[in-house]
Amino acid sequence: MKKYLTLTRRSFIRTTAAGSLALGWLGGQRAPMAYAAEADKPALLGGTPAHKGGWAPWPEWREAWEPEVLKVFRSGHWFRGSAAHVEEFENGYAQLLGAKRCLATASGTTALIVSLHVMDVDAGDEVIVSPYTFIASYNAILANMALPVFADTDPATLTVDPASIESRITERTRAIMPVHIFGMPCDMDPINAIARKHKFAVVEDACQAWLAEYKGRKCGTIGDLGCFSFQESKHIPSGEGGAITGMSDELIDKCNSYHNCGRACGTNKGNGSFTRGHNYRMTQAQAVILSQQFDKLVKQTGIRRANADYLSANLGKIPGITPVRLPENTRPAWHLYAFRYDPAQFNGLSRDKFTRAMSAEGVPCGGIYHEQYYDGLLDEAIASRGFKRLWGAERLKAYRDSFQELKGNKQVCETTVAMTQNMLLAGRGEMDHILEAIRKIHAHSAELAKA
């Protein structure tokens, strides 16, 4: 047990305090093993939590942002077409990412729906996507009356395994949608190579990957189009909100038209009147809230990265904890900090009990995504009149059966543990508390498994 224990200042004080007390009880006789065991006891077994005082609240609000937001409300110019704030945000966000263009949208989901439509994903098409993602990735494909076809997840990276993509291709495949889950970049080179070979579009789901980098390029600028979310939990939030980024004027102009009721835009002249479209516009107040957070996003991304690197370097030393392997030359955004957990190395302590023990230590964490393709959403879709009309029964049965092939994803769903991004904004001392909590649980896993 001691092999993995490095005492933090805080746990050192606690250990020595417990030691003094015990020394008093024992009439001055030394009993070092007993003191250490007492100090290290997990909170769930009556010990002192490794971390007290909670974590940074999220989302953050700063009074300094209020005058600009009030100005917008007082102006009465709230909708996209009546002021320049949305465009200013688009220009700023594009610059931040090194994208040629950006289009603000109402949400990440609508950014994905628009992008897939503009990349010509149509009714009856298939899109190859990561299964390990928030359900909106599946829904955006279904909203275009296309079938989300799942490539497998690589248990080492938690992102799509590029080697599993080609076997999912059919004559209906139109696009690949890699998801940079938890802000960890997918291995984009092999994905883009497959897309080029088969002439597929690539729409990056970068909804959790603001400023994440793959080989010197920001996520969201590596495929044809990239999509972002600014929902409340996100690193740059505005309650709801989204964006599409890209390097092509033509594509972003088409996105603009489709998100704006089909009005002609820039290079997309349309047919003189309206083309198909929706209202997926961002409001001026959202844009003003977002633009004021650029500096904060950059600064906090650096803090999250430094803390995540520190955790990964130390967690790998604890048996049964495997930090994520990142593709070469990548810099994640760390929307969640995840690792894989092996109960066999914790005396059979289930993941559920492990995460409960962690929460008792003041370090909230949990398993994140499960095998959502069995939840009924896809069954409902493929049982619908539209889907039955677009695909034969045989294809839909083969599609449903293919979920069983997602062995890597099943493993990832069963073994991943993750913590939220705001915890990575704390100091090095707090990162030590996280490490201390896991080490304590590891040391006492046999008792915790029985408890």
The CA-to-CA distance between both ends of the chain, in Å, stands at: 19
Can you tell me whether residue 401 is helix, strand or coil?
Answer: helix
Of 229, 409, 416, 445, which lies in the binding site for ligand PLP, with binding defined by CB under 6 A?
Answer: 229
Indicate the helix (H) or strand (E) that contains 98.
none
Contact set for ligand PLP, span 140-169 (CB under 6 A): none
Of 36, 43, 121, 179, which lies in the binding site for ligand PLP, with binding defined by CB under 6 A?
Answer: 179
Sign of the four-CA dihedral 64, 68, 73, 75: positive
Rounded CA separation 232/237 (Å): 5
Indicate the helix (H) or strand (E) that contains 322.
strand 321-323
Nearest residue to 378 via CA among 350, 351, 397, 355:
397
Query: For the window 328-357, what string marks contact with ligand PLP as x by the rule CB under 6 A?
Result: ------------------------------
Which residue, 15 or 107, has its beta carbon nearer to ligand PLP? 107
Which residue, 203 or 252, has its beta carbon nearer to ligand PLP? 203
- Tokens linked to 231: 């929902």
Contact set for ligand PLP, span 242-301 (CB under 6 A): 242
Contact set for ligand PLP, span 51-110 (CB under 6 A): 107-109
Tell me the CA distances in angstroms from 398 to 149, 393, 404, 407, one per residue in order.
Answer: 11, 9, 11, 17
Of 40, 205, 361, 430, which lies in the binding site for ligand PLP, with binding defined by CB under 6 A?
Answer: 205
Half-sphere exposure of 435 (CA within 13 A, CB side): 26
Rounded CA separation 138/149 (Å): 9
Which residue, 204 or 361, has its beta carbon nearer to ligand PLP? 204
Which residue, 15 or 409, has its beta carbon nearer to ligand PLP? 409
Rounded CA separation 243/94 (Å): 10
Which residue, 43 or 102, has its beta carbon nearer to ligand PLP? 102
Nearest residue to 121 via CA among 142, 103, 150, 146:
146
Of 136, 160, 417, 438, which lies in the binding site for ligand PLP, with binding defined by CB under 6 A?
Answer: 136
Nearest residue to 358 via CA among 315, 389, 316, 302:
315
Which residue, 118 or 318, has its beta carbon nearer to ligand PLP? 118
Which residue, 229 or 355, has its beta carbon nearer to ligand PLP? 229
Query: In the bound complex, what is the minimum distance in angstroms from residue 135's beta carbon to ligand PLP?
Result: 8
Tell me the CA distances in angstroms from 24 to 17, 18, 31, 281, 385, one per residue in order.
Answer: 11, 10, 11, 69, 77
Chain position whose Cβ is nearest to ligand PLP? 108
Q: Number of residues in contact with ligand PLP, rule: CB under 6 A?
A: 14
Of 8, 15, 48, 133, which lies in the binding site for ligand PLP, with binding defined by CB under 6 A?
Answer: 133
Rounded CA separation 379/267 (Å): 40
Which residue, 326 or 390, has its beta carbon nearer to ligand PLP? 326
Query: For the window 357-396, what string marks contact with ligand PLP as x by the rule CB under 6 A?
Result: ----------------------------------------
Query: In the bound complex, what is the minimum distance in angstroms from residue 130's beta carbon to ligand PLP?
Result: 9
Query: In the bound complex, what is the minimum distance in angstroms from residue 134's beta carbon to ligand PLP?
Result: 4
Residues lying near ligand PLP in the complex (CB under 6 A): 107-109, 133-134, 136-137, 179, 205, 207-208, 229, 231, 242
